[in-house]
Amino acid sequence: MAKSRKESRKSERTKRRAERQKAQQQSQDRAVPQKGKVREWLDAMIFAIVVMVILRTIFFDLFRIPTPSMEKSLLVGDYLFVSKMHYGTRTPMTIGVPFTQIYLKGLSFPYTRLPGFSDVKRGDAVVFNWPADEVDVIERRMHYIKRIMGLPGESIQVQNKQVIVDGESIPLQEEMQQYWLIHKTDPRVQLNRSALEELGISDVIQGADPSKVQLITTENAASVIASWPWVDRVEPAIAPTNSVYDAAMYPPGRGWTPDNYGPVTIPSEGESVTLTDQNWEIYRTVISRYEGHQTASTPDGGFLIDGQVVSEYTFEQNYYFAMGDNRDNSEDSRFWGFVPMDHVVGKAILVYFSWDKDAMLPRFGRLFSMIQ
């Protein structure tokens, strides 16, 4: 009997202890409010935004093709994955609202680039800030994408559409296109529209001479057309020298055109050049706009940099010569000059999505395709 009462008291003590613990837990639960669904979604969204900002700042960026300057390699409506790590991530130069063009004006940081695992190479499709943009801060200038054709220290020119670097001709890649002049054997013959469409050609320009037509296409397609029985020959359509082209070229006043340009020597970091009347206008923009020096000419034809008379100049960074794959429909280095290294954003490596605005459908065959 004594043992039973003892066990009963022990059971009651255990029960009271459990009730006290339960009451304490309920009190704690009331003290710490539970997150609502809205709060949970908000926290998840903030976390996702922070992660995306970090990723896009350090590792990659996303870019959409807005113009046909790179066709047929890259099409209008292509969405690209751009690697910042290839050439080294460029640290932020401003503070702004993520994923917008809103930023704190008047505050900027000096250019710094983290180590990358690749140099900029000829043939790379590179995204960069447009050097000719009037926006003061580099990273807030408009984004362009072009293919690198000339590297620092190289001499580049264009002769009758043929790009020549240090005396070596650089052939068109498979998807690059330009204007071609088609000479017909009989002026009354019309080119077969269906056959042209099969080659991806939609525009045919008929001039005053009915025996000639002009069209824009790839070199391979031009070779196919040259084999047609009513075609006498196919040759590059060369732009004529005129005042309009002369004023638009970089630099103006040399009688250059997009099809006959240069030669110019591309500035290289640490390279010293002797300044002459022939190269002063080529390098003056580089020295003043991209390297931050005051430039002027003396009355007797000398050159002033930061108020000092100089005969040579040493470049402070590397520069590149960029051209569009759609050679006759591209505003590139032939028109506005060199691409400074501090303007380079990254290397375009992948088309992750593509939208055909005319068909109102995705181009499924281009999804997740590598950029050549």
Cβ of 202: how many Cβ atoms within 10 Å?
11
d(CA 297, CA 208): 47
Higher-confidence position of 330 and 95: 330
Among 160, 148, 135, smallest CA distance to 237 is for 160
Question: In degrees rounded to 5, what are phi and psi of residue 235?
Answer: -145, 160
Cβ of 370: how many Cβ atoms within 10 Å?
8
Indicate if the pLDDT at residue 271 is higher than 80: yes
The whole-number pLDDT of residue 34 equals 56
CATH superfamily of 34-154+344-372: Umud Fragment, subunit A (2.10.109.10)
Task: Place 14 in a pLDDT band, splitting at 50, 70 and 90.
Answer: low
Cβ of 10: how many Cβ atoms within 10 Å?
10
H or E stretch at 17: helix 2-31
Indicate if the pLDDT at residue 48 is higher than 80: no
Identify whether the C-beta of residue 102 lies closer than 8 Å to the C-beta of residue 96. Answer: yes
H or E stretch at 193: helix 193-198
Higher-confidence position of 318 and 239: 318
Chain centre to alpha carbon of residue 284: 25
Cβ of 88: how many Cβ atoms within 10 Å?
18
Q: What is the pLDDT of residues 216-244, one digit of tens each?
A: 999 999 999 999 988 999 999 999 888 88
The whole-number pLDDT of residue 333 equals 97
H or E stretch at 223: helix 219-226
The whole-number pLDDT of residue 83 equals 94
d(CA 154, CA 320): 9
Among 52, 59, 48, 142, smallest CA distance to 101 is for 142
Among 83, 157, 155, smallest CA distance to 120 is for 83
Q: Render 111-135 in DSSP notation, one character per residue.
A: --B---S----TT-EEEEE-TT---
d(CA 14, CA 354): 69
What is the amino acid identity at position 362?
Answer: P
d(CA 251, CA 283): 9
Among 334, 173, 171, 349, smallest CA distance to 257 is for 334
Identify whether the C-beta of residue 147 lies closer than 8 Å to the C-beta of residue 324. Answer: yes
For the entire predicted model, the pTM comes to 0.85
Indicate if the pLDDT at residue 361 is higher than 70: yes
Indicate if the pLDDT at residue 288 is higher than 70: yes
Among 339, 335, 149, smallest CA distance to 251 is for 335
Identify whether the C-beta of residue 127 lies closer than 8 Å to the C-beta of residue 350. Answer: no
Among 234, 137, 146, smallest CA distance to 185 is for 234
Q: What is the pLDDT of residues 291-305, one digit of tens each?
A: 999 999 988 889 999
The whole-number pLDDT of residue 1 equals 47
| Domain residue ranges in the chain | 1-32, 34-154+344-372, 177-236
Read off the tokens for 155.
């001499």
Indicate if the pLDDT at residue 20 is higher than 90: no
d(CA 98, CA 61): 12
Q: Is 148 helix (H, G, I), strand (E, B) or coil?
A: strand
In CATH, what number does 177-236 get?
3.30.70.80
Q: What is the pLDDT of residues 85-116, one digit of tens each?
A: 999 999 888 887 776 777 788 788 888 999 98
d(CA 348, CA 298): 44
